[in-house]
Structure 1
Amino acid sequence: MGADVIKLVYCIRKRTDLPAEEFRKYWLEQHGPLVRSVAAQINAAKYVQSHTVEPGLNGVLQQSRGLAEPYDGITEVWWEDVADLHAAMATAEGRAAMGRLVDDESKFIDFAHSRVFMTEEQVIFD
């Protein structure tokens, strides 16, 4: 991926009516393959799920900094550049694919307590 890569970062909280294991399983085994199936329509170059682990260590980190509780995970979606994302959103197929993703997310994500934003990476070391 080139220097103009743009990335969506989605800090996710699970729906409170879902047990943690059911949330993780659905996100990985149902939603992940759905994202893969629409990757071409949304022009996505890469998709990663990061599932929160180590609750004890998270608690230590949280307390040492006075932080709120951690998210249940993070999704990252990369595009080669912002033009690829805009091009996908300019097509009926791209908009329909994004709509399918949002509909599916409503099955396991607490939208009101999650956060999403676009970023441009600044690599400090690799």
Structure 2
Amino acid sequence: MIKLIVFVSRRADLSAQAFQAYWRTRHGPLVRRAAVTGRTVRGYVQGMTALEAYQGSRAPAYDGTAELYFDRHADADAFFGDPEYLEQIHPDESNFADLSRCAFVATSGPEIVCGPEPAGARGVKLIIGVKRHRDLGVAAWREHMRTRHASLVRDHPTSRRYLTGYVQCFAADTAYLDGEPAVDATSELYFPDLATMQAFLDDPAYQAEVFPDGADNADMSRTVFFPTREEAVIPTPAMTGA
């Protein structure tokens, strides 16, 4: 299973509300009803950045994420190369998104650390687009994230208190063929609501024991955090064991 993640930035002339309304009510249905989608896409999830995130002094890194699931790389290529996508779907993207400020990364698919599969998740999802330290090799960094960091997050008392799900998605090997991808992985943390998410992030034990392990292996100047609420345009298939 391949999961393509698009970090979406809205057009500068659109408010967050207008951006979300267009993406949800116009673009989502356009993608869903396209014949090429039915032939190639296994799932499509829009992650709308929580409107509460715009109330602070710093704007969110992105206005949302689009997640597209495919069985094979060939299916992804067929979708993006199809005349229906090129003539109808792609031109509509510029009606709500600033494509020059969007980032794309193909991943090898979700690795579920704990909690429900993405299709069954609810509430708020904190997206962390992680860039590793420049002096760390990809293989060694992945191994640390899959073993040491994943187990630390999964088994920590603060996670058992606040967290409802945790998914890692690593950039596919092919994403490095033309240089460095926008992120090396996403850590996707699910919470019942924003207040619970913030309590987790502010918890002294998380700050002292969990956060440093991730931060010590990440380039924090290039790592992004933003909370989203998911809307499944096309429900994702079951992925246990994927």
Tell me which amino acid in the other structure corresponds to 1:95. Answer: D
The one of 65, 71, 82 equivalent to 2:62 is 71
**Aligned partners of 1:114 and 1:56: how far apart in 2?**
18
In 1, the alpha carbon distance for the partners of 2:4 and 2:90 equals 14
Aligned pairs, number: 110
Matching residue within 36, 49, 52 for 2:49: 52
Q: For residue 13 of structure 2, give the secondary structure of its aligned residue in structure 1.
A: coil
CA shift digits 1:28-66 (9 cap, x unpaired): 00000011012124x100000000013179x59x8xxxx
Is residue 115 from structure 1 mapped to residue 103 from structure 2 by the alignment?
Answer: yes
Q: Distance in 1 between matches of 2:100 and 2:79?
A: 26
Which 10-residue stretch deviates more, 78-87 or 17-26? 78-87
By percentage of residues, which structure has more strand?
2
CA distance in 2, matches of 1:44, 1:73: 19
| 1:88–1:29 CA distance, 2 compared to 1 (3 A) | closer
- Kindly tell me: are residues 78 and 56 of structure 1, through their superposed partners in 2, closer, same or farther at Cα, counting changes over 3 Å? same
Q: What TM-score, normalized to structure 2? A: 0.41
Per-residue deviation, 1:84: 2.5
Residues 87/115 of structure 1: CA separation in 2 closer, same or farther (3 Å cut) = closer
Q: Which has the higher contact order (CA 8 A, sep 6+)?
A: 1
Cα RMSD for the two superposed structures: 2.4
Q: 1:85 aligns with which of 60, 76, 80?
A: 76
Alpha-carbon distance between aligned partners in 2 of 1:85 and 1:6, rounded to the nearest angstrom: 8
1:25 positional shift: 0.2
Q: For structure 1, which runs of at least 5 residues remain unmatched after alignment? A: 63-67
Q: Provide the residue aligned with 1:65 in structure 2.
A: none
Runs of 4+ in 1 over 2 A off after TM superposition: 83-89
> Which residue matches 1:17?
13
Match of 2:92 in 1: 104
**Distance apart, 1:124 and its partner CA:** 4.5
Aligned partners of 1:47 and 1:72: how far apart in 2? 17
Larger radius of gyration: 2
Distance 1:87 1:22, change over 3 A: closer
Map Cα deviations across residues 15-38 of structure 1 (whole Å, 9 max, x no partner): 001121111000000000011012
Letter aligned with residue 22 of structure 1: A
| Identity rate, percent | 35
Conserved 8 A contact 2:41-2:68: yes
